[in-house]
Chains A and B, each alone.
Chain A
Amino acid sequence: MKITVDDLSALEPKPNQFVAIDLEIFTNKGDDKHLHRPTTGRFACLSVCYDPDEVFIFTSELIVPSILEKLQDCVWVIQNSKFDLTHLRRWADVPPRKKLFDTMLIERILFNGLYDSFSLKAMARRRLGIALSKEEREAFEGAAELTPEMVEYAALDASVTLQIAKQQKKEMDKNDIYVWTEIDRPALWAFLDFQGFAIDVDKWNSLAERNKTRQLELDAQIPFNPRSPKQVVSWLSKHGFAKIENSQEKTLQKLINKFPNTDASKASQDVLDSRMYSKRASTYGAKFIEEYLEHDGGVPVIHTDYDVSRAETGRTACSNPPMQQIPVRDTHEFRECFVARPGHKLVVADYSAQEPRLSAYVSHDSKLIQWFNEDKDVYIELGKCIFGKTLTKKDPERQTMKSTVLGLTYGMSEYGLSEREGISKEEAAELIANVLAILPDMATYMEKQRRNKKMVATPFGRKQWLNPYSDQVERNALNSPIQGGAADMMKKALASIHQHWSFDCPFGVVGYIHDELVLDVPEELADDVAEFVKEQMEVVATDMVRGKIPFKADVSIGNTWAEK
């Protein structure tokens, strides 16, 4: 392989040619969690390759704009482009472009669920039969100068990326192309333009202190160490839970439900609460702030790392920090700490009953489609058929219907439903049978889906390979099209909001958590942004299902993330 160093004039790619681009940065120890931030690392080199046998290496960030200018009309081939594009934007203007081919994201489109790893190393091994050493990659940590070995490593990465892309291009069918060009690629550009999520640091720290105090107060009341499994089991077995096997949450919760209002159940609850407060105080305390806090124009913010299609279903994942894990079920205290910037408002949007609507769409269930088109509450309608009475939104039977319908689409078993609803397994089985009798098309669809052992797809064409040896294979065959389809829809909506953003402020999305969008925009624009976001989400969704079912978005405006 020929390697040409720092010769810009030699770079002469043709328009529309596939050109691999690979950026290497020098990092420091401990930078791993912050590589998604442009503030991390220093330029090491940029590799460019449009012939697998020749790679151009550039060792100065000063010529990045000139290099990219020369590649303007080419298709940029990048492995994990979010990283490279984030950092290239430090040295050059890189607006969203259609001519982008991300080998990692495209490999996921082709083989999500079939493989665990989509790293360049894994793909080079599988596709090219090359064992790519990653030891040189580690050499960039702590280094300040390029060695000849590092240059060779960077060149090989670029050449391999190009070769992989050429194979992938030939393998993509029209669904794969749609998923890349209409969903993942435009969503990627939107993620690249996310702003930091403002956080009230004082409130966050005092919440952590409060959680620590709650934990200590509980610990003082518990006559043993709640974090010692041995002591927990020993005490509880002598005080009512004679046959307790371990001190895991699931075990304790089961015993609390089975023997309520006993000394042992009270102590068990205290143990669970103490552990919860302890975890909250440590995970969401000063360490979180120390690890992730940045400032944007003087405003304290958190920037999360989004991975466009990390989950096997194609769902977006976020990490560093994982915002989806911030507690929300039993408390709004944490969300109250995420706030609008001064003079701004938060706009929070999500789809209403997205999964049931998608289930109706994929199953072609005439009853569900009819109810949604008549703008009826499907859970109330189902309840009417099953319980023979009119329900209101507050009736517990409606919640039971909701759990059953959602559970069905997620492959929930009779056991799962019985646990969730606190009913017997027989009652749960009867409930499921009754619901499916009213929704026969759904029943047929589920039966058909369960038979898949190799591959399923979202209604928008994203493949999801199944593992026939997994005990979750039936569940995944049912769940993946719905969960992945919901993610496809949300990403396309996000992309549309990004593409059509014309407000007199930067793109305002600060969070994409649990299929919920959070935007931080100037107060005077909040109403217009809310209306725009709602319209975009509804139009995109209704278009995606070809108008067969109306999709609705719920949008709210507030000062904190909790005000939804």
Chain B
Amino acid sequence: MTDNWDNDFNCPYCGADLVRAAGNKHSDVLIIGEFPGDEEKQQGIPMVGRMGSVLRNELAFLGLDLMSFRRTNLWLHEPNKNKECFQMGVEAAMKEARGKKAILLMGSEAVAYFTGWKVSDVSGLKVVSDKLSAPTIMAMFNPAIVFHGTVGEIKFALRKFKEAMEEWK
């Protein structure tokens, strides 16, 4: 909770509905997506919409539970041109990332911001970030690509993420 009740629901800079980090705070794993969609905005929880259901399914195939991971987005609401709004999301993500052992960056914007790479160059690979610190940081495409493309890249990246997690476990 923040000091100001309203700030828990609305962006102090633009007034948009906020979707803050959710999931197990003590998890070793943090997933950072791009921005909340309609379903996420309605529920106020990241990664619960269509994209989240793909992610949940594909992690479940690997024996992993999305709900047991900490989850947040680069933007805490829909993207706009306000730099302060963006910075608020970035700072929240970086704060969430502290002490995590594995961070999964999802989508082109999150990957580009934290690593400088194009997601198509590094999806499923371990990456280095000068803004985040964790034994494992991995990049992957936004799972929503399955709605207009194929599913293989998502399966591949999550499999690699699981393998990387097993290394530090």
Check if A and B associate. Answer: yes
**A residues whose Cβ falls under 8 Å from a Cβ of B:** 111, 113-117, 121-122, 125-126, 129, 131-133, 465, 467-470
Q: How far is the CA of A191 from the CA of B160 in the complex (A)?
A: 38
Verify if B153 is at the interface (C-beta below 8 Å from A). yes
- In this complex, what residue of A is CB-closest to B54? A469
Nearest-CB residue, chain B, relative to A113? B150
Q: Is the CB of B147 within 8 A of A122?
A: no
Are the CB atoms of A129 and B151 closer together than 8 Å?
no
Residue contact A116 to B121, C-beta cutoff 8 Å: no
Tell me what chain B mostly uses at the interface: helix, strand, loop, or mixed.
Answer: helix
Collect the chain A residues with CB atoms within 8 Å of residue B152's CB: 111, 114-115, 465
Q: Taking chain A's interface residues, is the majority helix, strand, or loop, or is none over half, making it mixed?
A: loop
* B9 CB within 8 Å of chain A: no
Query: B121–A125 contact, CB under 8 A?
Result: yes
- Known A-B contacts A131-B117, A469-B54; the reply to A125 vs B149 at CB < 8 A is no
Instruction: List the 5 shortest-distance A-B pairs measured between CB atoms, nearest first.
Output: A114-B152, A469-B146, A115-B152, A467-B151, A131-B121
Stretch from B19-27, B64-72, B96-104, B122-130 at the A interface: B122-130
Min CB–CB distance A471 → chain B (angstroms) = 8
Residue of A nearest to B122 (CB): A131
Q: Which residues of B contact A125 (CB under 8 A)?
A: 121-125
CB within 8 Å of A: which B32-46 residues: none
A121 with B121: CB separation less than 8 A: yes
Interface set, chain B 147-169, CB cutoff 8 A to A: 147, 149-153, 156
Q: Given A126, A132, A469, which contacts B151 in the complex, CB threshold below 8 Å? A: A469
Decide if A126 touches B146 in the complex (CB within 8 Å): no
Q: Which residue of A lies closest to B118 (CB)?
A: A131
Q: Do A469 and B147 touch across chains, with their CB atoms under 8 A apart? A: yes
Q: Determine how close the nearest CB of chain A comes to the CB of B73; give it in whole angstroms.
A: 21
* With known contacts A131-B117, A131-B121, A126–B156 Cβ distance under 8 A: yes
In the assembled complex, which residues on chain A have CB atoms less than 8 Å from the CB atom of B151? 114, 467-469
Q: Give Cα distance in the complex from A115 to B123, angstroms.
A: 13
What's the minimum C-beta distance from B152 to chain A, rounded to whole angstroms?
4
B120 lies within 8 A of chain A by Cβ? yes
Give the docked Cα–Cα distance between A249 and B159 (Å): 44
Q: Tell me the total A-B contact number using a CB cutoff of 8 A.
A: 43
* Tally of B interface residues using CB under 8 Å: 16
Residue of A nearest to B152 (CB): A114
CA distance A469 to B121 in the complex (A): 24
What distance in Å separates the Cβ of A454 from its nearest Cβ neighbour in chain B?
10
Compute how far the CA of A111 lies from the CA of B54 in the bound complex, rounded to whole angstroms. 20
Q: Are A116 and B153 also in contact (CB < 8 A) when A121-B121, A125-B121, A131-B122 are?
A: yes
Q: With a CB–CB cut-off of 8 A, which chain A residues contact B117?
A: 131
Nearest CB in chain B: distance from A345 CB, A: 43
Asked if A117 contacts B120 (CB within 8 A), the reply is yes
List 25 A-B residue pairs with CB atoms under 8 Å apart, sorted by A's residue number: A111-B152, A114-B151, A115-B152, A115-B153, A116-B149, A116-B150, A116-B153, A117-B120, A121-B120, A121-B121, A125-B122, A125-B123, A125-B125, A129-B124, A129-B125, A131-B125, A132-B121, A133-B121, A467-B146, A467-B150, A468-B151, A469-B146, A469-B147, A469-B151, A470-B147
CA–CA, A126 and B155, complex, Å: 11
Residue of B nearest to A121 (CB): B121
Residues on A with C-beta less than 8 A from B150 are 113-116, 465, 467
Chain A residue nearest in CB terms to B121: A131
Task: State how many angstroms separate the Cβ of B27 from the closest Cβ of chain A.
Answer: 25
B160, chain A: closest CB distance, angstroms: 8
- Determine the residue in chain B with the shortest Cβ distance to A122: B120
Within 8 A of A (CB), among B108-153: 117, 120-125, 146-147, 149-153
Cα distance A122–B156 in the bound complex, in angstroms: 12
- Residues on B with beta carbons closer than 8 Å to the beta carbon of A132: 121
A126 contacts across to B, CB distance below 8 A: 124, 156
CB closest residue in chain A, given B157:
A126
A406 CA to B54 CA, complexed, in Å: 33
The smallest C-beta distance from A513 to any residue of chain B, in angstroms, reads 26
B125 to chain A minimum Cβ distance, whole angstroms, is: 6
**New contact pairs (11) apart from A122-B120, A129-B124, A131-B117, CB-CB < 8 Å:** A114-B151, A115-B150, A116-B149, A125-B123, A125-B124, A129-B125, A132-B121, A465-B150, A467-B146, A467-B150, A469-B146
Q: Which of B54, B146, B147, B151 has the most CB of A within 10 A?
A: B151
Residues of chain A with a CB closer than 8 A to B123's CB: 125
CA distance A115 to B149 in the complex (A): 8
Distance in angstroms between the alpha carbons of A111 and B155 in the assembled complex: 13
CA distance A131 to B54 in the complex (A): 26
Residues on A with beta carbons closer than 8 Å to the beta carbon of B120: 117, 121-122
Contacts of A469 in B (CB 8 A): 54, 146-147, 151
